[in-house]
Amino acid sequence: MATDVVKTFVETCLYLQDPRLVARFQHLCGVRGTFPENASEPREDVRDDGPGLRMRSAGDEVGNGAAVHANGTVSDPKPEDQRTARAKPLRRNSLTGDVGQEFLIHNKFLFYLFTFGTELGNEMFFIVFFPFVFWNIDALVSRRLIVVWAWNLMVGQSTKDMVRWSRPASPPVVKVEVFYNSEYSMPSTHAMTGTAIPFCLFMLTYGRWQYPFLLGLCVALCWSVLVCVSRVYMGMHSVLEVITGFLYTLLILAFFSQTLDKIDNFYMTHAYAPLVIVASHVSLGLLAFSLDSWSTSRGDTAQALGTGAGAALGTHANYQLGLMADPSPAELPLALPPLGAGVVAHSLLRFAVGIAVILLTRMVMKAVTIPLLCRLRGLPVDDVRRARQHMAVELPYRYIVYSVLGFTCVCVVPLLFRLVYLA
């Protein structure tokens, strides 16, 4: 009996890991690959169009021949394009060297929906989301979300580098996205962050804010499902890897549901908290970085841990300076304020000022840190991509830049709001 159960479980896992299942789902959603006749031979029409974070094939087709450009815009086709639907030159990811793939999109709505879903797990979303929640909604919720996000991403990326499963094979899978193709695949860290953030947000706000339970649960579930399904649509993960990422995160959230309050209080009140924060985040980063050779996962891990360290140090500084504005238990649950024009304008102004400070700080720190580290390590400054693949450059670069950003978001910007009467 036990043998039959194990056999069934293994067969189910093999079925869910099959790249043909991903390809069938993509086909159902209107994605068609334009694979060369001999897929094992490299394409000759590849060119390097310069830097970019998330490149897609320039001139790929959408629907009846409309072109998908690298910036995600869609243009109407020329008559001759509709007749011939000829392939255009591909784009190359300047960080990893991965080449974009030609594909046809026959359902524009699903393309834009799942592109939005996958962006919910990317760096730019968190640069916007965490500060907005911290500055305009609930500082306690935001700083605790950052703790969960940082540790969840570190665990997921480290697990990837230990398991070392490759991405779904192409063909038959169409690589709608290529930026993360150099990483290992199991589990899906997009699915992990896309599950951790909404469900942790629900866990932290239900009972603290007044809203219906079913509303919060449905929003969290829809958010998570959208991110998870988008990774299959993009051809970056098998169904098994997405399901594993989802379940893995539920286990991590079960741990944090018991300890998050204690961690937050420790960061605020303990005299040795800054030392513990720096030591723990740096040591875990060194451990994660030693698991495998360079890939984009190393930068993501260091970036998350650096942001978490900076936010934790900012939390400690705020508490020591008496700048905490957390409501007392007697004031809970909090009522959602009416969304008048004045409230919206004030929130948008705070966000615009704060994000300008964050982006300016990020620009300055990157401009200063990378050349300095290159000179210290005797590396050429003119080849940033290669320099960032050196552990001795990338590890301190990511930690320094994003720890400063985390500290700026949690401590510096709120102080600036007080100075300019935006608090």
Gap between the Cα atoms of 313 and 269, Å rounded: 11
Which range in 9-13, 287-291, 383-387 is most confidently predicted, on average pLDDT? 9-13
Calculate mean pLDDT across residues 87-104: 47
pLDDT, one tens digit per residue, over 22-33 is: 989 988 988 887
Q: Please tell me the predicted confidence (pLDDT) of residue 213.
A: 92
With b for 16 or more beta-carbon neighbours within 10 A and e for fewer, the 352-376 pattern comes to ebbbebbeebbeebeeebbeebbee
Tell me, what's the pLDDT at 42? 36
For position 86, what pLDDT does the model report?
Answer: 33
Q: Mean pLDDT over all residues of the chain? A: 78
How confident is the model at residue 383, as a pLDDT?
A: 64
Q: What is the pLDDT of residue 322?
A: 82
Q: Which of 91, 95, 43, 47 is nearest to 71 (CA)?
A: 91
The rounded percent of the chain whose pLDDT value lies above 70 is: 78
Cβ-contact 68, 115 below 8 angstroms: no
Residue 406 pLDDT grade (very low, low, confident, very high; cuts 50, 70, 90): very high
Listed ranges 123-137, 171-185, 380-394; the one with the highest mean pLDDT? 123-137
Mean pLDDT across 234-241 = 89
CA 65-66-70 angle, to 5 degrees, is: 125
pLDDT score of 361 more than 70: yes
Look at residue 232 and tell me whether its pLDDT is greater than 60. yes
Ranked by mean pLDDT, which of 43-57, 151-165, 326-340, 345-359 comes out on top?
Answer: 345-359
Instruction: Kindly give the pairing relationship between strand 103-105 and strand 31-33.
Output: antiparallel
- Phi (first) and psi of residue 66, to 5 degrees: -70, 145
The span from the CA of 12 to the CA of 2, in Å, is 15
Which tens digit of pLDDT belongs to each residue from 245-297?
999 999 999 999 889 999 999 999 998 999 999 998 888 877 766 655 556 66
Residues known to be catalytic: 190, 237
Hey, what are 92's tokens? 């190359």
365 neighbors 272 (Cβ within 8 angstroms):
no
Residue type, 276: V
Pairwise pLDDT comparison (87 vs 184), residue with the higher score: 184
Mean of the pLDDT values across residues 366-371?
A: 84
Taking alpha carbons only, the member of 365, 343, 344, 342 closest to residue 412 is: 365
| 92 against 183, higher pLDDT | 183
Q: Read off the pLDDT band of 85 (50, 70, 90).
A: very low
Alpha carbon 222 to chain centroid distance? 17
**9 vs 51, residue with greater confidence:** 9
* Residue 118, C-beta contacts closer than 8 angstroms, at least 6 positions apart: 177, 190, 227, 230, 231, 233, 234
Confidence of residue 96 (pLDDT cuts 50, 70, 90): very low
The token pair at 138 is: 């609930």
User: Is residue 90 pLDDT above 60, yes or no?
Assistant: no
Identify which has the larger pLDDT, 49 or 162. Answer: 162
pLDDT of residue 164: 84
Of 131 and 161, the structure prediction assigns the larger pLDDT to: 131
Residue 154 has pLDDT above 50, yes or no: yes
Residue 53 pLDDT: 29
pLDDT the model gives residue 165 = 84
Closest CA to 170 of 89, 238, 87, 245: 238
> In which band, very low, low, confident or very high, does the pLDDT at 199 lie, cut at 50, 70 and 90?
very high
Helix axes 296-320, 123-136, angle to 10 degrees: 10
> Residue 101's pLDDT band (boundaries 50, 70, 90)?
low
Residue 331 carries which side chain, given as an amino acid letter?
A: E
